[in-house]
Amino acid sequence: MKKKRSIYDVANELQVSVTTLSFVLNGKGQEKRISKEVINKIEAYIKEIGYQPNHLGRSLSTGKSKTIGMIVGDINNPFFSEVASVIEKIAVKAGYTLIVASSNNELNQMKSVIKLLNDRNVDGFIISPVAGIEEVIADLKKDEKPMIIYNCYFPELNTFNILVDNKQGAFEATSHLYDNGFRNIACITLDLYSQVDRIGGYSDFLASKNLDTHILQLPYELNYEEIINKISHFLTSNENLDAVFFSTNFLTLGGLKALSKLGGKYAQMGIVSFDDHLLYDVLNPGITAIKQPITEISSTIINNLLEMLDVSGNKVTEPQTIIFPVELIVRQSSFKR
């Protein structure tokens, strides 16, 4: 196999310095006052030999890798995949490659992924955190690594955070079920840090009406069939329940399967899901959902990170917390049938 040319080989063949070659490869020839003759010579030779610069070498010479590392909780979750898709489109237009990695909502895996991306010299991070990762995020902040935290955050860390109003959304979902005549409303959720505010909103509304809470908090690592079985057991063990607030759309899909299998009165239970889904509008009955503004969340994340990465500008992006409102999309599932 023929040995791949290094940047040093190409510079030697052109009889220019590695620095000069690097500037031209990165489109900074004119900015660095390199003569047009030399720029044309380098560009013509690069085209002739089909040279592809090594990205690690490029990052070492410029200090920039033109990559952004994004860490999601679970890439199978439609929320994360939709957010990543919008972010990638904007990042590519700005000249960046987006590297998406899933933590599977596990602390050790998130630590490993952050280390891997940091070792690859990504220019900035977009992180959906898990409990216990605070120290790692604090270290990134000390290293002045541009970073956006989304989905949930740690108030004690002075980071740039982008969220939705999870608590108000859950409060509104529960209130909507109450207004439609349901009184024994359950919350089926996950044992994740990101779900705390959704549980809180549900609990706060029921407390305001002096009603009991009925919470099933499932371990994240359960597979789909295990989720269905756990939900079925919970519902049959609490026979007075007449409605359910599901805190994620993945749980909603498992819950719908459980309710369908149980049949009878269970198929008539009121349902609201946190997070909308393409299927919810075509199911019968349609599923009422709390919708997050995916496009606005995604564009705000990447545009603020790009501002942090733009060293040529004078704008300093100060840490802040941006909270987007959510919207209740009403369909037939939240009405008595």
Q: What does the pLDDT look like over 128-155, one tens digit per residue? A: 999 999 999 999 999 899 999 999 999 9
100: phi then psi, degrees, rounded to nearest 5: -105, 130
At 288, which helix (H) or strand (E)? strand 288-291
Domain architecture of the chain: domains with CATH? 7-62 (1.10.260.40), 67-164+294-324 (3.40.50.2300), 166-292+328-334 (3.40.50.2300)
Q: How far apart are CA 162 and CA 83, in angstroms?
A: 12
Check residue 57 and give its pLDDT: 53
101: which 2 tokens?
């990695």
For residue 184, the tally of other CB atoms under 10 A from its CB is 17
Q: What does the pLDDT look like over 197-250, one tens digit per residue? A: 999 999 999 999 999 999 999 998 899 999 999 999 999 999 999 999 999 999
Query: By C-alpha distance, which of 213, 211, 329 is closest to 274?
Result: 329
Q: What does the pLDDT look like over 23-67, one tens digit per residue? A: 787 777 887 788 989 889 988 988 888 876 665 455 545 557 799
pLDDT exceeds 60 at position 257: yes
Q: Residue 328: is it exposed, middle or buried by C-beta count within 10 angstroms (0-12/13-18/19+)?
A: middle
82: which 2 tokens?
């939709």
Buried b / exposed e over 84-108, threshold 16 CB at 10 Å, is bebbbebbeeeebebbbbbbbbbee
Q: How far apart are CA 215 and CA 220, in angstroms?
A: 15
pTM above 0.75, yes or no: yes
At 169, which helix (H) or strand (E)? helix 166-179
- The DSSP code sequence of 76-131 is TSHHHHHHHHHHHHHHHHTT-EEEEEE-TT-HHHHHHHHHHHHHTT-SEEEE---T
